């Protein structure tokens, strides 16, 4: 937990759909807001700027490197904030630890940060080099190499199909397991190259890397846990804003919002997900697959 930082730094990550996030959170100057995927602080900085000295921001992220940058950035503000290196699905215990019973708004941006994608050592992007790690928290849990090594060919095919929606999953899994000592981004790319047609290979690579990353970090399990509990920690009139980047996440968010609406506790603000403007997509290509959904607690 960090309450203070003193230096300024350039923004290392372009926040996706920033204007929409700030508008739909319906920020109240004295409110308490939680950014559950605070990253390097792109959204959080702008949220904090709109709060008074009586407001508060809570930032959560699993990535220690991103959180260090975030604390440096947020430290330029005199407004109160707390940061935690943890996962947003631990919302109940983090708020309890902070002495907070409920918040006025919650933001989740489920995409990878530029810090992660641009890293030459962490293996998140198939355009990168180096070892296959893919962990958000580099200090705990198994790496992508570990996951691949312990998984059977069928288990690996299931991961690629379920989390990447890749139709060549069995052929790719066979090629991966047929190789020896798969350790690097280049090794995984070569396995995909051997087992997929060239015309759609770029998409296959993206799906395979996405699937293995999701499995390594337990992303869908953590989102599921969050979606089951967040409503209990949102004030009446408080809003939740979630940005997802693939259909698996977006479907989970949509179905949860719909169920809570039918229960009479949530109002869905966005009947259809919002997407970035053409201008934003042109300026930030990594925003192209973003979908933003908003809901408000009403009971």
Whether residue 12 has pLDDT greater than 60: no
Please tell me the predicted confidence (pLDDT) of residue 149.
95
pLDDT in tens, 205-258: 999 999 999 999 999 999 999 999 999 999 999 999 999 999 999 999 999 999
Structural domain of residue 194, as residue ranges?
120-218
Residue 2 lies in a domain: no
Whether residue 58 has pLDDT greater than 80: yes
> What's the token pair of residue 270?
């966005």
**Do 190 and 48 sit in the same domain of this protein?**
no
Please tell me the predicted confidence (pLDDT) of residue 13.
64
Which of 192, 218, 244 represents a domain boundary (last residue)?
Answer: 218
CA 208 to CA 142: how far, in whole Å?
A: 17
Is 241 within 8 Å of 103 (Cβ atoms)? Answer: no
Span 195-200, average pLDDT: 94
pLDDT in tens, 100-143: 999 999 999 999 887 888 888 899 999 888 889 999 998 899 99
Residue 234 lies in a domain: yes
Split into its structural domains, the chain has a count of 2
Which of 185, 218, 251 represents a domain boundary (last residue)?
Answer: 218
CA 106 to CA 27: how far, in whole Å?
A: 11
Whether residue 72 has pLDDT greater than 80: yes
Residue 280 lies in a domain: yes
Residue 1 lies in a domain: no
**Do 125 and 213 sit in the same domain of this protein?**
yes
Residue 5 lies in a domain: no
Average pLDDT value over all residues in the chain = 93
Span 199-210, average pLDDT: 95
Is 145 within 8 Å of 73 (Cβ atoms)? Answer: no
**Do 90 and 127 sit in the same domain of this protein?**
no
Please tell me the predicted confidence (pLDDT) of residue 9.
39
CATH number for the domain harbouring residue 286 = 3.40.50.150
**Do 174 and 202 sit in the same domain of this protein?**
yes
> What's the token pair of residue 187?
């090794």
**Do 102 and 127 sit in the same domain of this protein?**
no
Please tell me the predicted confidence (pLDDT) of residue 86.
97
Whether residue 7 has pLDDT greater than 80: no
Residue 11 lies in a domain: no
Which of 194, 218, 242 represents a domain boundary (last residue)?
Answer: 218
Question: Above pLDDT 90, what percent of the chain?
Answer: 85
**Do 193 and 63 sit in the same domain of this protein?**
no
Please tell me the predicted confidence (pLDDT) of residue 116.
86
**Do 282 and 150 sit in the same domain of this protein?**
no
């Amino acid at each position: 937990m960090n309450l203070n930082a003193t230096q300024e730094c350039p923004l290392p990550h372009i926040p996706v759909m920033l204007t929409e996030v700030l508008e739909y959170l319906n920020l109240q100057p004295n409110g308490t807001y939680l950014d559950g995927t605070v990253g390097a602080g792109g959204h959080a900085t702008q949220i904090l700027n709109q709060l008074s000295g009586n407001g508060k921001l809570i930032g959560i992220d699993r990535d220690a490197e991103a959180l260090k940058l975030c604390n440096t950035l947020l430290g330029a503000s005199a407004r109160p904030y707390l940061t935690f290196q943890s996962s947003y699905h631990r919302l109940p215990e983090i708020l309890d630890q902070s002495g907070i019973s409920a918040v006025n708004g919650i933001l989740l941006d489920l995409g990878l940060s530029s810090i992660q994608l641009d890293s030459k050592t962490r293996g998140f992007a198939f355009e990168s080099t180096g070892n296959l790690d893919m962990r958000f928290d580099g200090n705990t849990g198994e790496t992508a190499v570990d996951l691949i090594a312990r998984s059977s060919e069928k288990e690996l095919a299931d991961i690629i199909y379920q989390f990447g929606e890749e139709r060549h999953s069995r052929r790719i899994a066979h090629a991966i397991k047929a190789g020896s000592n798969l350790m690097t981004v280049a090794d995984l790319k070569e396995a995909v190259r051997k087992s997929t047609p060239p015309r759609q290979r770029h998409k296959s690579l993206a799906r395979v890397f996405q699937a293995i990353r999701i499995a390594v970090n337990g992303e869908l399990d953590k989102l599921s846990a969050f979606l089951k509990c967040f409503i209990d920690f949102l004030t009446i009139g408080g809003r939740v804003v979630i940005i997802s980047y693939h259909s698996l996440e977006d479907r989970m968010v949509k179905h949860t919002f719909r169920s809570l609406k039918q229960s009479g506790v949530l109002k869905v603000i966005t009947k259809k997900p919002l997407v970035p403007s053409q201008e934003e997509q042109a300026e930030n290509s990594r925003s192209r697959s973003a979908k933003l959904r908003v809901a408000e607690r009403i009971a």
